[in-house]
Structures are given as structure tokens and as C-alpha cells.
Amino acid sequence: MTSFRSNSYNVVICGAGPAGLMAAYQLGKLTGCGGRILILDKKEPWKEPIFCAEAVSTHRLNSLWPIDESWVRGSISGIYFTSPKGYKAEFFSKDCGRLLDRSKFHHAIADACVEAGVECRFDALVKCISRDGDGWNLKVQVDGEMFSLTTRAFIDASGPGCRLTRGISCIEGLETGDTDLEPGIFAIAEGIPHDRDHIELLYGSEFEGGYGWIFPRDGKEVNVGFVLSKDAKPGMPLREKLKHFIATHYPGASVKAIYGGMIACGQSKKPLAKCGLFKAGDAASCVNPMSRSGIVEALLSGKITAEAVHEWLDAADDSARARIEASVLDRWMAALGKSHLQIAKAKPGLAKIKDEQFDKAAKRLSRLPREKQTLLRIFFAVLWSCPSVIWKMRSFLH
Ligand SMILES: Cc1cc2nc3c(=O)[nH]c(=O)nc-3n(C[C@H](O)[C@H](O)[C@H](O)COP(=O)(O)OP(=O)(O)OC[C@H]3O[C@@H](n4cnc5c(N)ncnc54)[C@H](O)[C@@H]3O)c2cc1C
């Protein structure tokens, strides 16, 4: 099937990741089945691989999308913070996080979109957009065939660093989804010792201002990888660096596949909507700058955007619409953006912590009994050596 239900929509959403799917679902619900809402993606959102380590906070996810165990790989009851020499501090909190099967999770939200009356096309590449009267014109490619669609509002949820919305004069100054763009890479591997209900975060100069991770998958496999700061100079291709890291630290491991992607890990104060064009998720640089988690953040950003777009569709005139557009940044700031700005300010400090300091702090913490290693206690226990390490990472599961 290549043709669309219509060539004119109220809202078109580009990108069926968590941000776009959530925005589409919310708009479907808010506008009713006749809302003429279309979501487009160049691939099916459940198509593997999905470039992600798939860890989320249980309660933050649950507050946005009720958890269904059918799309969960496992539960997390803690984090090991591991220093360069291998000292481990443990934060234990029963059922604090989940490891998702994002493919199945996306499928579940996409199904809900269809039920909410949203037209879903997961075979459609948005080639370019342009301003068209009061709305937007889209050139969309399906199976080599080009379609021209118009829409009153356009939501860009196309992920980090998207070029679709660049160079359009009426939206100049809008967030471009590339604030602190950092490289992340991971392998699906077996033979790496790990705890099935803990994630492990690894620190040290090896990660050049970022961190490494080992996240369990099915008891045998893990997702092992790292994110580096945007200024990192790894001196070799990331793929080689990851292979070298695994071979050095886990000589018994076998690597099944390696994937990588970029993460927009900074928070800007640039507007998130102008002239009926709205940005959501990674395209709006909504990732937590320190933990680099972006799934729940994208869901929340999609929801906030959908609520604003719904009001915008009903607004009486241009000035009311402009006010709503300006309010999107305020809404995001009130929800998470302000705390992301603070975290972003603290981030360069983490890059300066020396390997010895990480070792000292983790060694000290590892001596505390587990039940005493609450985030608060951990914080005070390391206060004298490097207080920032764990405190800054609490956002992962908080
Ligand atoms: C290596 C790595 C590990 C990560 N680990 C975690 C983690 O453990 N926990 C966590 O919370 N976050 C993690 N993240 C971040 C998380 O994956 C993102 O923040 C999240 O996916 C953002 O969702 P989104 O909907 O904004 O964008 P995306 O999920 O990137 O979705 C964008 C969609 O837009 C589509 N698209 C793009 N351009 C077009 C176009 N022109 N036409 C049609 N479709 C288009 C793409 O196909 C894609 O499906 C990780 C990221 C990386 C790179």
C-alpha cells in the first residue's frame, strides 16, 4: 500500500521513536478519531536493531506509560558504580528500574496509536519540508514514489541531529537536536560476568568524560558499551575501542554484534516550537545530560508537545498560536529542562575526576553494608573524596 488516507492533515509527526509515538498517541486521544493525525517513519519502529541500552526508571516510566511485563526484559534492583581498579559501590533499591525490549515496547505504543485513530505509516521517509501558506508541505518517499502532503502542524521527533528542519528561515533559532552530541557504542555479548538484576556503570579516564556500562539482557547476554564526551579523542575508531575494551577486561567474552549512535546530551534554552513546527524528544535535545537516558525523557517531551499542539489547533488566532508555541519551552523547563540545565553545568566536573579519586571513593563505599548504601548515605560517605560521582548519576533511576 503506498497511498495515504488524505493529502492534508492537521498534524504530521516525523519519527516513531518514543517521542513521536507518544505525541501521536496523545494527539489521537485528545482530538478523537477524526483528528487527521499522521505519524511517519522510514522503518517499522519495532525493527531491530534499536540503538539503545534500554534501561529506564520503573516509576518514571510507569507514570507515563503503564508497564506491561510483555515488553520488559527484566527488573533492576540496583546499580554498581565501578571504579577503574574494579572497586564497586552498590546502590540497592528493589525494582527501581526496568530493562526494556524496546522493539516490543514501540510495537505496543504503535498499536495504541492505531486504536486512537492515528494513521501510522512506517514505510515513509520524509525527504524535506517547507513552509506552505499557514502550514507545512512535506515531500515523502514511499517505495521510491514521491508524495506531497500538507499539514497545519508538524512535529519533528526524528531523533538527534536531524537535518530536516535546518536552513528554513521562518524557524531559525529553533532547537536543532544536536546540543552536546556525544558518540555511544555498544555490543551484545556473552561471557561477561554480571548480576542479572543490577546494572553496572563504569568510570574512569578510559571513557573520556563519559562512562561505560554493562546491562543484563536475558541472563546470558549483556549490552556492554560506553558513551564518550563530545570532546573525546579516542585515537581509534569507536568500534575498535569497544572491542579492545572488551578483550582487555573480559577476555572470555564473545561479541555477537556491535551498534552505535549519537546522543544529544545537552540542554539548551532555544525555543522548541515556531510557525507550527514543534520539536520533541532527541530532536529537541531532551536527553538527561549526565546519565544520557532519553527514553522516558522522550515520552514526556512527546506528551508535552502533544498537549501544546492540541491547544494550538484550537487557538483563535496567530498571536494565541505564537503564545502556545513559546510556552512549549517553558513547559519542558518546568518538567525536566531546568534540572537538565543544572546537570549540564555539573557535567564538565565529572570529566575532571581522576582515576585515583574514583578508586578511593568506590573502595570506601564498597566497605559499607549494602543496606546502608542509600543514595544519601553514599553521597555523604564520598563527600570528602569526590561527592559528585554518585550524586550526579542518581537521575538514571530517580
Ligand atoms: C548507544 C545508546 C544507548 C542508549 N541507552 C539508553 C538507555 O539505556 N536508556 C535511555 O533512557 N536512553 C538511552 N539512549 C537514548 C535513547 O535511545 C534516546 O534518547 C531515545 O531513543 C530518543 O527517542 P526519540 O523518539 O526522540 O528518537 P529516536 O528513538 O531516535 O526515534 C527517531 C525516529 O525517527 C525516524 N526518522 C528519522 N529521520 C526520519 C525521516 N527523515 N523520515 C522518517 N523517519 C525518520 C527514525 O527512523 C527513528 O525511528 C541511548 C542512546 C544510544 C545511542
Q: To test the ligand 1 pocket, which listed residue (185, 272, 282) has its Cβ within 8 A of the most ligand atoms? A: 282
CA of 74 to the centre of ligand 1 (A): 21
Say whether both 37 and 111 belong to one domain: yes
Range of the domain at 391: 55-100+180-265+355-397
Task: Give the mean pLDDT of 91-105.
Answer: 93
| Model pTM score | 0.94
Say whether both 155 and 17 belong to one domain: yes
pLDDT of residue 377: 58
Return the ligand 1 atom nearest residue 296 CA: 11
pLDDT of residue 398: 46
Q: Whose CA is nearest to atom 2 of ligand 1?
A: 52
Percent of the chain past pLDDT 90, that is, above it, reads: 78
Q: Is residue 337 part of a domain?
A: yes
Say whether both 121 and 157 belong to one domain: yes
Say whether both 137 and 279 belong to one domain: yes
CA of 378 to the centre of ligand 1 (A): 32
Return the ligand 1 atom nearest residue 18 CA: 25
Say whether both 41 and 129 belong to one domain: yes
Say whether both 189 and 87 belong to one domain: yes
pLDDT grade, residue 389 (50/70/90)?
low
Say whether both 152 and 236 belong to one domain: no
Q: To test the ligand 1 pocket, which listed residue (21, 38, 42, 296) has its Cβ within 8 A of the most ligand atoms? A: 42
CA of 15 to the centre of ligand 1 (A): 9
CA of 369 to the centre of ligand 1 (A): 38
State the average pLDDT for the chain. 91
Give residue-wise pLDDT tens across range 116-169: 999 999 999 999 999 999 999 999 999 999 999 999 999 999 999 878 999 999
CA of 301 to the centre of ligand 1 (A): 13
What gap in Å lies between CA 99 and CA 105, rounded to an integer? 11
pLDDT grade, residue 383 (50/70/90)?
very low
Say whether both 201 and 63 belong to one domain: yes
Give residue-wise pLDDT tens across range 197-207: 999 999 999 99
Task: Give the mean pLDDT of 235-248.
Answer: 97
pLDDT of residue 90: 87
Say whether both 188 and 228 belong to one domain: yes
Number of domains the chain contains: 2
pLDDT grade, residue 331 (50/70/90)?
very high
Q: Is residue 186 part of a domain?
A: yes
pLDDT of residue 357: 85
pLDDT grade, residue 396 (50/70/90)?
very low
Say whether both 336 and 298 belong to one domain: yes
Provide residues with CB under 6 Å of ligand 1.
14-20, 40-43, 45, 51-56, 125-126, 157-159, 162, 164, 184, 186, 225, 261, 263, 281-283, 287, 293-295, 298
pLDDT of residue 352: 78
pLDDT of residue 391: 54
Q: What is the CATH number of the domain that holds 323?
A: 3.50.50.60
What gap in Å lies between CA 344 and CA 360, rounded to an integer? 25
